[in-house]
Amino acid sequence: MLLVRGVHAGYGAVRVLRGADLDVARGELVTLVGPNGSGKSTLLRAITGLVTPRAGTIELDGDPLCGRAPETIVRLGVAMVPEGRELFGPLSVRDNLRLGAYATPRAGRGRRIAADLDRVLALFPALAPRLAQPVGTLSGGEQQMVAIGRALMARPRLLLLDEPSVGLAPLVIRTIFDVLAGLRAEGLTMLLVEQNARAAFRIADRGYALGPGGVVGAAATEPRAEAARAAYGLHTAREEARP
């Protein structure tokens, strides 16, 4: 479904990605792990149109994404849960969730949004009694649930998640990863960026390890976490060998 080939991207004069390659097949949950600064978030931003690649191609079911506006990419079926959540604190939980459905077609819009809201509340029942509450007053874990729910309100074909476990308590992390595992079982295609490799590889079909400059290793079979660590080591050795 998602095909990333030779992507170079960065910010101004700073080059972050230098030829990143990645594939996500339909119905897969693929995880991308790597140290801070390796370009994981930059890759997600390139996929969603928030960063324009300097070279390379990104395709969704053969449809090129490079050069398209973020709102167009959302309408093509890509939704992202950003690092830091980027919620609207003064707005209610309900309003933040409904913002995820802004691209919903007019025909049957009300019924569809109501049905999608019910689905999100079934996934995250802790949000049900807080629908009228300003989202900025929620705990970090509850805010992460809202961020995931908002993305699901768009009915994505491809869901991108950027570090959903950051700063959360172990019990909340378990709850969120159980939900992601359930979505995977339903057939939702996902690309999960994580530093918590143990939790990520537990639910993933495959994994990539990203080091500065691009994807340097992949783990398709157990032991996945060990393979990812080996990929980091391989990258370090290559970097040290460079003149």
**pLDDT tens digits for 132-144?**
999 999 999 999 9
In degrees, to the nearest 5, what angle opens at C-alpha 163 toward C-alphas 159 and 167? 140
Domain termination site, one of 155, 179, 195: 155
Q: In the chain, how many domains are there?
A: 2
* Burial bucket for residue 229 (CB in 10 Å: 0-12, 13-18, 19+): middle
How much of the chain exceeds pLDDT 70, in percent?
Answer: 87
Tell me 39's DSSP state.
S
Check whether residue 62 and residue 113 sit in a common domain.
Answer: no
Check whether residue 185 and residue 237 sit in a common domain.
Answer: yes
Check whether residue 151 and residue 164 sit in a common domain.
Answer: no
Domain boundaries, position 116: 85-155
Domain termination site, one of 135, 155, 175: 155
Check whether residue 59 and residue 129 sit in a common domain.
Answer: no
Domain termination site, one of 140, 155, 170: 155
The per-residue pLDDT for range 142-193, each reduced to its tens digit, is 999 999 999 999 999 999 999 999 999 999 999 999 999 999 999 999 999 9
Check whether residue 145 and residue 176 sit in a common domain.
Answer: no
How many angstroms separate the CA atoms of 12 and 125, rounded?
43
How many angstroms separate the CA atoms of 236 and 228, rounded?
13
Check whether residue 97 and residue 43 sit in a common domain.
Answer: no
Check whether residue 59 and residue 160 sit in a common domain.
Answer: yes
Task: Tell me the CA distances in angstroms from 121 to 7, 118, 173, 175, 188, one per residue in order.
Answer: 37, 5, 17, 14, 18
List, in order, residues 6 or more apart from 14 with CB less than 8 Å away. none
Q: Is the pLDDT of residue 223 over 80?
A: no
**In 84-223, alpha helices (H):** 93-99, 109-123, 140-152, 170-185, 197-203
Pairing verdict, β 189-194 and 158-162: parallel
The answer to whether the predicted template modeling score (pTM) of the entire model surpasses 0.75 is yes
Check whether residue 185 and residue 236 sit in a common domain.
Answer: yes
Check whether residue 215 and residue 240 sit in a common domain.
Answer: yes
The residue to which tokens 């994807």 are assigned: 215
